[in-house]
Amino acid sequence: MKRLHTQTQILLNLSVPELAARYAETRCDGVGLMRAEFLALSVGVHPQKLIADGGAEKFVGFFAENLAKVAQAFFPRPVVYRTLDLKSNEYAGLEGGGDYEQPEANPMLGFRGCSRYMEDTESFRLELRAVKRVIDSGLSNVKLMLPFVRFPRELEFCHTVVGEEGLLDSPGFQLWMMAEVPSNILAIDEFLPHVSGVSIGSNDLTQLILGIDRDSQQLANQSDMRDPAVLAGIERVAKACRARGLPVSICGDAPSRHPELIEQLIMFGLSSISVPADAFEATCQVVEEVEQRLGLAGRKAPAAT
């Protein structure tokens, strides 16, 4: 299959493992965001209830089987698996969820991401064991990414747990983080020592920098990821990653919804762009045109390889 020859890697966002074989037929550079939420909803049971009922292996086996399906389809191209980022109201909807979740007025800014991993470490470990099982089977193209990291101390804690589960000993293993919280922007140099790469989540980053609920109908026309404040945050992360020789990607909606931003993202130094499959070919065309114009075609930047 003909591969891309752009400096900027063009990756795919993926939620449903059954689509992996079809998407793998494209000339993409891999999967920049494999969401775990679909898998948790498919299991249908709150992870803590599974653990309490002796069903931890069911969780690990199901996640490992589906992650392996994606990794095998794309091998040896990278698959960046993002650990679960369901919100408390979504967890509450799972079987047994009412016994483990507290109501939150604003789940979007509540008990999610790495904050949850620190409180419910056993459920987090189930995901890590699934990832380890897949890597140990020979699918070394799987990378791990942590969502919604508010504080460096959370990242340091999760890094320790990842190490305890043996993943850091796997040859070529990479631990990534999402940059989607303003603290990630302002204190980026405190986060980077713990990771191998960064992927910018432009959806959450936009709502948190602008202070606009991304689901608000009244303010929808003002929530714009092209806002100079949002772009300044992206540029700051990219600059910090480049200074350390780390890859930096973007997996939010910005490039697919606003392809005119792609040139700016490339000039910021992003090493990859991850988009939905239906935006892939259009993104390829824009990236190829921009790199030709900038004289960048034919060279590769650091990436999740």
pLDDT of residue 223: 84
pLDDT along the chain (305 residues), means of 10: 79 98 96 97 97 97 98 98 97 97 95 98 98 98 98 98 98 97 98 98 96 84 92 98 98 93 96 96 95 75 53
What is 9-294's CATH number? 3.20.20.60
Q: What is the pTM of this model?
A: 0.94
Q: What is the pLDDT of residue 215?
A: 81
Task: Output the pLDDT for position 147.
Answer: 98
Domain ranges of the chain: 9-294
| Helices 121-136, 56-74: inter-axial angle, 10-degree rounding | 40
